Structure 1
Amino acid sequence: MSDAPLRLVIFDVDGTLVDSQMDILAAMGQAFDRAELPVPARDEVLGIVGLSLPEAFERLAMGAPSALRLNMVEWYKDAYVALRAKVGAAQSSPFYPGAREMLDRLHAVPEILLGVATGKSRRGLDKLLEGHDMRHFFVTQQVADHHPSKPHPAMILAALSETGVAPDEAVMVGDTVFDMEMAQAAGVRSVAVSWGYHPAERLSQANALIEDFNDLPGVLNGFWGTEI
C-alpha cells in the first residue's frame, strides 16, 4: 500500500478541458441582441470566460441598469441551453486534444484525486459531465451557484476541505488570469494552459505553462517529486 499523500488536481472547464467558445459567443450575442445593446467583440467575450455570469455581464454591459444585466444573465442561460440541445454537450463543447486521455491517466493513480472549479452553473456542469461521460473522474465539483466568482479562492478552499488535501499537495489547472489569481489566493500551485481563452502572455503568475496536455505529468512530477 502506497504511503504517498493524497494529491488533488483541480481543473477549470471551459477553455481548459473543453472548447465551448462557439456556444458562448452565440449565446452572448443573443443576450445582447435581446437587450438591444451592441454585442461585444469576440476577445472581450472570451476575456470574461471563467467569471460567474453576473460578474461577466457587469463587465461587458457596464453601463446597463442592474435589472437589465440580471435579465441578460437569464437570456444567456436560455440561449446556451438551447444551442447545446441542438447537438448535445459533447459536440458543442468538444474536448481539447489529449484532455480525455489525461483525465484517464491521472484518475488511474490511486493517490491523485481530481476536481473541477468552474464558472458554470450546476446545471451547466451536469450537462457537460453527462455529455462526455466524465462525472466519475471528479470527487469534488465546485460551481458558480455556490461560491463567489473567480478569482475569489472559495472554490479551491472548498475542494481542499472536501478532499482533505493540503494546499501544497494541490494544483489548479486553468486557462485564465482568474484561475491563476484564484490559485494564488488559495495558496496552491497553478498550471496555465496555452490553448485557452486568455493569451499565454497574460498568465505569467502561473507556476508553470504547458502547451500540450502531455506536458502536465512532468510538471506535476516536478512539483511533487513523483513519477506519474
Structure 2
Amino acid sequence: MSRPLRLVIFDVDGTLVDSQGDILAAMTAAFERADHPAPEREAVLGIVGLSLDVAVPRLAPHLPADLHTRIVGWYKEAYMGLRAQTGVAQSSPLYPYALDTLRTLHAVPETLLGVATGKSARGLDKLLDGHDLRSFFVTRQVADHHPSKPHPSMLRAALSETGVAPENAVMVGDTSFDMEMARAAGIPGIGVSWGYHRPEALGAATAIAHDFRDLAGLIDDIWRAPA
C-alpha cells in the first residue's frame, strides 16, 4: 500500500531565514519617519509573523489608524531598500542546515513542502529567488490573501491546494502565532528554538526542534505516532 501524501509547511522569518537585522532597522526607520520613538527590540521581534497591518497597531496602539497605515508603508520602503543594498543572502541568511533539510524532505516523493508567512507575495518571491528555493514549495500562502496569523486560513488553503489531510501535515515555525495557527487548523506544530519567540512561548507546539538537523526525525515521529 502506498503512503499518503504528506505536507510540511514552513514559516519564513525566524524559521528558514534570519532577517531580524533588516526587520529591526526597517521598523526603526519607519517610526523615525513618524516622529515617534522606535519600539524596543524584543517588542519588534515579538510581532514578527503577524501581518504588518496587525503588527504595527500592536506596537503603537495609541497612534491613529492613518499613521499606522503610513508606518506600514514606510517599513516596506525601508525594508526593500536595505535588502537591495546587501542582497537577499546577506539580508536574510538561511539558518544553518536549513537548505540540507529542505533537500532531504523534498527528496521523499510523498512529501510536499509549503510556506505560510506574514510576508507579502512580492517579499516572499524576492526571498525564494534570492536563495533559489522556489522549486521546493508547491504551495505558498502569504499575507496578501489571508487574515493574519494565528487565523488558520493560510493552513486551510495549503491543505486544500495539495489535497493533504490535516493529520498528514506539519507546521514548522518559531512563534506562538505559528503554533496557535497550526492548532486552530488541526495540524501538529513543531516549534523551533532558534527563532524570535522563546521556546517557552510555544506552548501549542507538539514538539520543539533545537537544531535543523533534528527536524526530519521529529516530523517522522509525529507521523508515526498513533492518532
Asked if these proteins are the same fold (TM beyond 0.5), I'd say yes
Report the 3-state secondary structure (helix = DSSP H, G, I; strand = E; otherwise coil) of the residue aligned with 1:80: helix
The 10-residue stretch of structure 1 (200-209 or 8-17) with the greater mean CA deviation from structure 2: 200-209
Q: Mapping of 1:193-204 within 5 angstroms? A: 193-204=192-203
Match of 2:191 in 1: 192
Name the aligned partner's letter for residue 126 of structure 1: D
After TM superposition, the structure 1 = structure 2 runs for residues 87-98 of structure 1, keeping only pairs within 5 Å, are: 87-98=86-97
Using the size of structure 2 for normalisation, the TM-score is: 0.98
1:64 CA drift (Å) = 0.5
Is 1:145 aligned to residue 144 of structure 2?
Answer: yes
Matches within 5 A, 1:1-228: 3-225=2-224
Q: CA deviation at 1:39?
A: 0.5
Task: Tell me how large the CA RMSD over aligned residues is.
Answer: 0.9
Moved over 3 A (4+): none
**Shift, 1:69, TM fit:** 0.3
Letter matched to residue 76 of structure 1:
Y
Counterpart AA for 1:164 = G
Q: Show structure 1 runs of 5+ residues with no match.
A: none
Deviation of residue 90 (structure 1)? Answer: 1.5
Once the 2 structures are TM-superposed, how far is the Cα of residue 5 of structure 1 from its aligned partner?
Answer: 0.2
**AA partner of residue 26 (structure 1):** A
CA distance, structure 2, for counterparts of residue 107 and residue 139 of structure 1: 10
1:88-143 Cα deviation digits (max 9, x unpaired):
11211000011010001100000000000000000100000010000000000000
- Aligned counterparts of 1:204 and 1:62: Cα–Cα separation in 2: 26
SS of 1:192's partner is: strand
| Cα distance per residue 1:73-97 (max 9 Å; x no partner) | 0000000000000011121100001
Counterpart residue identity of residue 185, structure 1: A
How far apart, in 1, do the equivalents of 2:203 and 2:72 lie?
Answer: 31
Letter in 2 for 1:40: P
User: Cα offset for 1:225?
Assistant: 2.3
Amino acid aligned to 1:33: E
- Unaligned stretches of 5+ in structure 2? none
